[in-house]
Amino acid sequence: MADILIKNVRLAAAETAPGTALHSEPVDLRISGDKIVERGTDLTATAAERVIDGSGLLAFTGFVDLHTHLREPGFEQSETVYTGTRAAAAGGFTTVFAMANTAPVQDNAGVVEQVAALGDNAGYATVRPIGAVTEDLAGVKLSEIGAMANSRAQVRVFSDDGKCVHDSLLMRRALEYVKTFDGVIAQHAQDPRLTEGAQMNEGQLSSELGLAGWPAVAEESIIARDALLAEHLDARLHVCHLSTAGSVEVVRQAKERGVKITAEVTPHHLILTEDLVRSYDARYKVNPPLRRDTDVAALREAVAAGIIDIIATDHAPHPAEAKDCEWDAAAFGMVGLESAFSISQLSLVEPGHISWAQLEQLLSQKPAQIGSYFEHPATLTVGATADLVLVDPHRTRVFSEADLRGRSTNSPYFDMELPGRVHTTVRHGVITCDNGEVVDL
């Protein structure tokens, strides 16, 4: 592990004005071991240090993704912990929370410890397993929540993502259980009866295309129910991949009542709309579906207003055969780790909705707080763990398959000109992405 000196970099936390313009003064950051040991100006490098010229770059605390599908164990043809965390490093992520829908399911201490260990061995990102709420994601019986919470993996987030915990009593019991150790239930808000056979957002376009519609109320009704349960129990609830204007309103009202509710939005729901489904290109098939342009506008406004707390990728890799087929047969999901920063810049910072400092909160500090990952640095100050990412906000590129570092290529952004590029990712003092290229550790 070589020591590092980053020269003349601006800190995202100091860029508090909305928009992309940079106003703060550059600083130097010295990293030794896994800590930031000095911060100042005109620091002199030692012979043993790797010097990185940060001129024109922005330094963020390492990004944290609260919603990643790493697929291992069981679906290694789509992704592994190793390949998925390499994709994370390319995207500036130093911590990822791995969803439970693996095979076997992450519903017991043994499996979550295995996933965490695979992350430690890979070295590209800290992997925090998410435990299943119910055994085998079946929605019938609670999983071994206590055993996972007390395991070496110290699980604090529980989700049946991909499936909704639709039984009200089970959801109540899960919220009661996690409250005892300040855990959180991350709900996939989708009423299964209202979405049977659904293929895209319900509306005029779904009727025109002859595809079964996915009504917004299927999401909004579950969020409303769960908000009431969380309010009744004074427990923590997190809403996964919120996608409609109506859902924003439900979360807003719950927060005004003091409910312990947080919500995430994916980058793709901040920029892509249902109109893309006209192409029948299955790269645009996702759960929840792409919505109307009015929903996209409402989501952006909700992020700016603090109603939506974080950005989470819902990185969902699939092999080519699961996407290169007719729409009805295709799998739901998109990869998103490598493109998350660029899409966030394009949809939120460039239009002036938020500042760079707010984007750091959305991609870094707040996800760590919700996931109870207290080892994550709150700021890039002396003594903090050296988890950080340097980005070039002025660099643009036409996004292509060459920008992906995971095992699957089901990205919806190919051929789009995207702003911003991850230059360097540092995790625990180790460079994992160097000048845009993932390092072989």
Q: Which residues are annotated as a binding site for Zn(2+)?
A: 67, 69, 161, 188, 241, 314
Cα separation, 342 vs 82, whole angstroms: 23
Q: Are 199 and 210 in contact (CB under 8 A)?
A: no
Cα separation, 363 vs 367, whole angstroms: 7
Could you tell me the two tokens for 29? 């950051």
Helix, strand, coil fractions of the chain, as percent rounded to 5? 30, 25, 45
Cα separation, 198 vs 207, whole angstroms: 12
Q: Which residue reads 């991909």 in tokens?
A: 162
Cα separation, 63 vs 364, whole angstroms: 4
DSSP for 99-147?
PS-SSS-S-SHHHHHHHHHHHHHH-SSEEEEPBPSBGGG-SSSB--HHH
Residue stretches of the annotated binding site for substrate: 69-71, 101, 287, 318, 332-333
Which are the catalytic amino acids?
314
Query: Residue 43 gets which letter from DSSP?
Result: P
Phi/psi of residue 81, nearest 5 degrees: -60, -40
Cα separation, 224 vs 307, whole angstroms: 15
Cα separation, 421 vs 52, whole angstroms: 16
Alpha helices in 281-408, H assignment, sequence order? 293-305, 320-323, 340-344, 356-360, 366-370
Question: How many other CB atoms are found less than 10 A from the CB of residue 373?
Answer: 18
- Which residue, among 287, 243, 293, 286, has the nearest Cα to 263 in the 3D structure? 243
Q: Are 206 and 265 in contact (CB under 8 A)?
A: no
DSSP E strands in 325-409: the ranges are 388-398
Strands 310-311 and 261-265: parallel
Cα separation, 99 vs 115, whole angstroms: 10
